[in-house]
Structure 1
């Protein structure tokens, strides 16, 4: 049930944060050019970097919602290189140390938005650049300076990244069933719908609704109902293919996102779900995404299919109307 859908764009929140950070770095660079640390400071270089930073930040801000996934990594790599060159160009020990503090924002930005693997990669590049700057610039006590400052930055970034990943997992995972929360699942469905509209990639979704769940709660208690939900979700999770995403929309209703799947392939997926929990009673409605279709409409079509199946059962009574409005798709941060 982990999030396996991969889009080609970076999250808009990351793009906006990167834009603000680069704008801030550009403004600070211009400030150091206007008020240098020493008479020998490379003010021309600081001014040029400030102008470039402001221009790049403005461009990132204008395209924050449409940044390729690899672009933030490229910007961070460029920033690491620029800071390394700036440390090398510093003419005083104080200027060298102050300039090296710019490595901190690169490490913390990576820790806030990226995976453990990405954090490791950026920290290795950052520490290598810092070492080159210290030894190449003839800094006093380079080994001690590199070990103390580099170790501190790496430790803080690693700790922050672990905290962010735990908070993100807690926000995205339904605590009872382990499925994605409604908001997290809808965000993935939005990404899959956008991908399908843009590139023609197929995607289907399945709405899963437990039969007789109210009777279970009334007869055996809510604890038994909770166990049933958790057991079903775990059983279904064991059958999912890489990329399939199970979410809990609320109560006893789940939704399954099937990227790269046509409607004709869905019965095979449903057969696997039933085989995993043959004693569970539940109904399913499916819909394949139509290019340009909103997620709310996509879900509505799957809902209609679900209730058509319920009505078609021999001896079935008319299903009760859905309680409450259909949850709105996630709109992004």
Structure 2
């Protein structure tokens, strides 16, 4: 029942992916700037600027890579804004129309990164900022005659970002939702509960976690069939969801087990809430509750809740 190290490693890997890929984008952009400075394609190429932008790209990429494990969301947002501004500067100082339009691939890469890793509204804002920065730089640049390909580039960036953002949103929803009950699935619940726990441990705020295990659920499947069992799970999940607060996090842990994360809640309040949930449906179940302590991980809190759950089951007590 309790998640192992493999699950935690998968969660950690997912958290590192976004800053790591943004770091790669910075590093590649910096390397290409240095290549352009070392082998300029036009006598008017702004070589000193390319060396400087290359240093920013390499340095920023290295910083993002080294801090990928603990990168905060605001750092990633800031990094996307910075690279958008740098693209605008590079467009403004480009010596040729080809050089300006040649910034298209990096614009597409930045927009696709935002669309894949950020919520769709945020991705749209970043794409708009990117296009405004690049467009302003292109408009202020000395070369001309690239309006048609530039319009095609802007349309391509906007369309690709929107398509990727919508697809990523659907995939995230599907990946984090239990298909039967519509609740958060185990992976999604653990990710969100871990964030709540880290915040509670850091701030000293109360937080409770509950594990719910249905009593004699197998008999329902054996007696009435799996369809009846599925309907019971859906009814319980719907009834509990209506009774919970907006901040509470309910998830299906697997089979007939559910988990609750209750921010700003001590054990007494958590037990009272669990008793309220019991009133939503006549089917009986047992629940174990544990509250967060200093130095806790999600595993340790769940282990204490799990131990209380089985003590209550052995004693014959429900809810």
**Same fold at TM > 0.5:** yes
- Preserved contact between residue 209 and residue 284 of structure 1 (Cα < 8 Å): yes
Equivalents in 1 of 2:57, 2:130: separation in Å?
Answer: 19
Give structure 1 stretches of 5+ with no counterpart.
1-9, 317-333
| Alignment partner, residue 10 of structure 2 | none
**Counterpart selection for 2:231 from 227, 250, 258:** 227
Shift in Å, 1:307: 2.0
Equivalents in 1 of 2:268, 2:86: separation in Å?
Answer: 53
CA RMSD of aligned residues (A): 2.0
What's the secondary structure of 1:205's corresponding residue?
strand
| Alignment partner, residue 19 of structure 2 | 15
2:160 is the alignment partner of 1:178: no
| Alignment partner, residue 241 of structure 1 | 245
| Alignment partner, residue 320 of structure 1 | none
Which one has the bigger helix percentage? 2
Give structure 2 stretches of 5+ with no counterpart.
1-13
| Alignment partner, residue 54 of structure 2 | 50
2:134 is the alignment partner of 1:130: yes
Equivalents in 2 of 1:250, 1:206: separation in Å?
Answer: 14
Shift in Å, 1:197: 2.6
What's the secondary structure of 1:257's corresponding residue?
strand
Q: Taking structure 1 as reference, are residues 136 and 252 closer, same or farther at Cα in structure 2, changes over 3 Å only?
A: same
Deviating above 6 A after TM superposition, structure 1's stretches of 4 or more consecutive aligned residues are: none
2:43 is the alignment partner of 1:39: yes
Q: Taking structure 1 as reference, are residues 284 and 187 closer, same or farther at Cα in structure 2, changes over 3 Å only?
A: same
Equivalents in 2 of 1:255, 1:228: separation in Å?
Answer: 17
Shift in Å, 1:100: 4.2
Q: Taking structure 1 as reference, are residues 239 and 147 closer, same or farther at Cα in structure 2, changes over 3 Å only?
A: farther
2:291 is the alignment partner of 1:288: yes
Give the structure-1-normalised TM-score.
Answer: 0.86
| Alignment partner, residue 263 of structure 1 | 267
What's the secondary structure of 1:155's corresponding residue?
helix
Shift in Å, 1:236: 1.3
Equivalents in 1 of 2:304, 2:265: separation in Å?
Answer: 16
Equivalents in 2 of 1:273, 1:137: separation in Å?
Answer: 64
